[in-house]
Amino acid sequence: MEVPRGRPGLRLGPGGHRPGLRCERLTDRRTPPRSPDPPSRCPGSGACPRGGRPRTPGGAAIRCAHDPPAPVVLPPHGLPPGLLAELTALYASRRDFHALSGDFPDPDDIRPEQVAAALADELAHPDAQVLLARSEGTLVGIAVTLDHHPDPADPDPWIGLLMVDAAAGRRGHGRRLAALVEDRFRAAGRTAVRLAVLDGNQAGLAFWTALGYGVVDHRADRDRGRPCAVLRKELV
């Protein structure tokens, strides 16, 4: 069976690096960012526009180029089958995470077309950005951010999703990836960042609090009404 190709207009380009970890940016050429800030998308939680997704532990400090080259446009059909297969395997490796979030109909059977649709939905926002983290050429993690929250009372960018392949856990990739995202926001002049963790995701909460994030609110996510803790960290 042919692997679904995903959404037309997606493109891939350099996204930065830290020792042992390299990032690529996945963006949509039809919805360019509205500002020079690193575009971001919050797939969401709490006050997040997309609704709360728990964060998975296991990541680590990376640094992204402050002014990366323009992305390379992919063929019109969108995601190449090989990349989509890698992304599907990454998502499927976090079965417990998706069972809690309910982002996929069956967490035991996450399909390529579902992953492609989820990424297309994230990138439909003009401030969305997806970062793909690789170690020695292997896809080990993904981060999705939102540069501007829809609520004008919220001045901070958001991390909507940070997920590391379960097979690559406990190697510092999650911390590097989190640090990469923070570096990109600092380079854009942002002074703080927010995220949300679904109730019941104790591992995710422990991961983010260990990185210096503190709980500032507790509320239901925007899309599904799931209870979440909202966390914030100042970027000093």
Residues 113-125 have a mean pLDDT of 89
Residue-number span of the structural domain to which 222 is assigned: 10-234
Strand extents, DSSP E, 52-157: 60-61, 72-73, 128-135, 138-146
Please indicate, yes or no, if residue 117 is contained in any of the structural domains. yes
Please indicate, yes or no, if residue 191 is contained in any of the structural domains. yes
Judge whether residue 179 has pLDDT over 50. Answer: yes
Please indicate, yes or no, if residue 3 is contained in any of the structural domains. no
Residues 158-186 have a mean pLDDT of 92
Q: Is 210 exposed, middle or buried (0-12, 13-18, 19+ CB in 10 A)?
A: exposed
CATH number at residue 176: 3.40.630.30
Please indicate, yes or no, if residue 223 is contained in any of the structural domains. yes
CB 179 within 8 A of CB 195: no
Residues 204-227 have a mean pLDDT of 93
Judge whether residue 14 has pLDDT over 70. Answer: no
Please report the pLDDT score of residue 23 as a whole number.
79
Please indicate, yes or no, if residue 5 is contained in any of the structural domains. no
Split into its structural domains, the chain has a count of 1
Please report the pLDDT score of residue 96 as a whole number.
95
Mean pLDDT of the chain: 76
**First CA to last CA across the chain, in angstroms?**
50
Residues 70-88 have a mean pLDDT of 68
CB 49 within 8 A of CB 42: yes
Scanning 125-201, the segments in alpha helix (DSSP H) are: 173-187
Please indicate, yes or no, if residue 4 is contained in any of the structural domains. no
For tokens 């919050």, the residue is 42
Q: Residue 51's pLDDT band (boundaries 50, 70, 90)?
A: very low
Please indicate, yes or no, if residue 2 is contained in any of the structural domains. no
Please indicate, yes or no, if residue 193 is contained in any of the structural domains. yes
Q: Residue 27's pLDDT band (boundaries 50, 70, 90)?
A: low
SS3 assignment, position 70:
coil
